[in-house]
Amino acid sequence: MKAIAIVPHTKTVQLVDRDDPKIETPTQVKVKVLQVGICGTDREEVAGGRADAPPGEKMLIIGHEVLGEVVQVGDAVRSLKPKDLVVIMVRRPCSECEMCKKGCSDMCQSGNYTERGIKQRHGFHQEFVIDEEKYMIWVPPALVGTAVLTEPTTVVEKAIDHACRLQVARLPVDPDPKKWLHGKKVLVAGLGPIGLLAAMVLRLRGANVVGMDIVDPHSLRPRILEEMGGKYVVGKEGAMKGQSFDLILEAAGIPKLDFQLPQFLAKNGVYVLTGVASDGPPLAVDAGRLMRDLVLENQIVFGSVNAGIAHFKQAVIDLEEAEKKWRGVIPQLITSKTPFTRFEEVLEKRNPDEIKAVIEWA
């Protein structure tokens, strides 16, 4: 079979031949890969950035945002059958920390987790993959057009879920975390795929969403936001003057912006960062004001990465609900579909108008 592989920490990326994987345990499932989404992590890997091959190997098969179809199941598999559509979790637990032992590898404390297509475990850019049933999430057939967006949706599902749980734990509100967002004013900073999917989840929870970016108000990203009932604001000096938000979700990964956003956080507000910033020059920050506001206004700032099984399941539910509520809107996030034989066209460069590029394997 064919696979897209890199030599980590170099710019070597190529289509390689591999043996077809075979089921080895009763709980494994063989999946035919249909689509794999491309994100900044993939392009960072291809450019020679962070990535690690499996122990004893020189190459890493990349790709972690997958939609596939079950072709074979082990004798002990009960929840899946051939022809089922599935998405597959990315992270695998370490064998050391309490978080991983309790099924929360997204909160791994040792740092010795592995990740498919990223860290010491082959990814999904290949014709067939094998994995354990417990890491697979069934997808309804109606989602075949958008299910490849599940993994990035899980990132914001977790971030939003944890933000709401923090608020429910400390405020005299309804104990259901999902209900906390209803009627709340939320700022989403950055309208890439993560930001737009965050806006989707937030709108489904009844939040009043303002999305901020620097793109033309008439371009596709603001249009998608507005079709979901959000409001778009161009991120320029003074654009947010006088406004405050109960929740701010950062999805841009721009350090200067990250430190500017807390000034727009309301009393008792929560600010969650999901963007991974690259290294850059030192910043001048008014640390005194930042710390005073956090303390005197009971504010929370935290970061969030990866996701657990519950967030994968919720992502599937929300993608399905979004398609019912705003038919045809979420598929617009997928701005290109490229055959795997032409992977260089999207892995090694990015179209300026791209939201989510997808490589098709079947």
- At the topology level, CATH places domain 2-139+331-360 in Quinone Oxidoreductase; Chain A, domain 1 (3.90.180)
Write out the CATH class of domain 153-303: alpha beta
pLDDT-flagged residues of the chain (< 70): none
Rounded distance between C-alpha atoms, residue 154 and residue 52, angstroms: 23
Q: What is the pLDDT of residue 335?
A: 98
Contact (CB, 8 A) for 149 and 155: no
Provide Rg for the chain, Cα atoms: 21
Q: Where in the chain is the domain with CATH 3.40.50.720?
A: 153-303
Q: What is the pLDDT of residue 283?
A: 86
How far is residue 321 from each of residues 184, 204, 315, 329, measured CA to CA in Å?
20, 8, 10, 12
**What letters, b where the CB count within 10 A reaches 16 and e where it falls short, cover 137-174?**
bebeeebeebbbbbbbbbbbbbbbbbbbebbbeeeeee
Contact (CB, 8 A) for 7 and 113: no
Q: What is the pLDDT of residue 278?
A: 77
State pLDDT tens for residues 329-355.
Answer: 999 999 999 999 999 999 988 988 999
Q: What is the pLDDT of residue 306?
A: 96
Q: Where are the beta strands (DSSP E) in 122-241?
A: 128-132, 136-139, 185-189, 208-213, 231-234
Q: What is the pLDDT of residue 90?
A: 98
Q: What is the pLDDT of residue 145?
A: 96
Q: Where in the chain is the domain with CATH 3.90.180.10?
A: 2-139+331-360
